[in-house]
Chains A and B, each alone.
Chain A
Amino acid sequence: AQSVTQLDSQVPVFEEAPVELRCNYSSSVSVYLFWYVQYPNQGLQLLLKYLSGSTLVKGINGFEAEFNKSQTSFHLRKPSVHISDTAEYFCAVTGRDSSYKLIFGSGTRLLVRP
């Protein structure tokens, strides 16, 4: 079985500052990892994913994440945030086994202030 821990429930940051949203996972098998974003009053959408290959993956809106197998982490980063990045961010994991179950973390609310 897999689980996901998002260590920060809320991250306040000033506009144009860098940000890192933390995600750690637990799994007995190799994994695929995802970040989803939920903007205010909108549905969830995929931000980026790690399936294989380069451990640094780039997504939409200038976000990137790095898969670190030894630390079982998949932290999300952006060098300079905008007001429009204010949203809830969810890390998710699925195992590379027969199950397609996708497990989400509890979410991190990114609050960008002017």
Chain B
Amino acid sequence: GAGVSQSPSNKVTEKGKDVELRCDPISGHTALYWYRQSLGQGLEFLIYFQGNSAPDKSGLPSDRFSAERTGGSVSTLTIQRTQQEDSAVYLCASSTRDRGSPLHFGNGTRLTVT
């Protein structure tokens, strides 16, 4: 079946502009995660959605970052007033509710802020 799909694969934007990154999880997966991967920094947790529960937003680095998940499926990560330090690969992953089930990652969106 289809895996986790992220779009766009690459995004170049000017400093100060807003960007939206999209994630289509695997059908039936109730959990959805956003991570940021910077060179040498590993994967930084941003936000987590589980079903209809309130999302865990504890990893969002500033109030310029927000995310929503509509209908328990597609998710959008929005970065307002982008800064150069926002440049990174943004990864989305989904999984079933079973805590031991693996996360299935998308190929990511490479964001470059000029």
Cα–Cα distance between A100 and B99 once the two chains are bound (Å): 7
The answer to whether B45 touches A106, judged by C-beta atoms less than 8 angstroms apart, is no
With A43-B105, A43-B106, A101-B56 as known contacts, state yes or no: A106 contacts B42, CB within 8 Å. yes
With A44-B105, A101-B59 known, 11 other A-B pairs at CB within 8 A are A9-B40, A36-B103, A99-B56, A100-B31, A100-B48, A101-B45, A101-B48, A101-B58, A103-B45, A104-B43, A106-B40
7 CB contacts below 8 A, A to B, read A44-B93, A44-B105, A100-B48, A100-B99, A101-B45, A101-B56, A106-B42
Count how many chain B residues have C-beta atoms less than 8 Å from C-beta atoms of the other chain: 24
Within 8 A of B (CB), among A75-103: 90, 94, 96, 99-103
Residues of B within 8 A of A (CB): 31, 33, 35, 40-45, 48, 50, 56, 58-59, 91, 93, 99-100, 102-103, 105-108
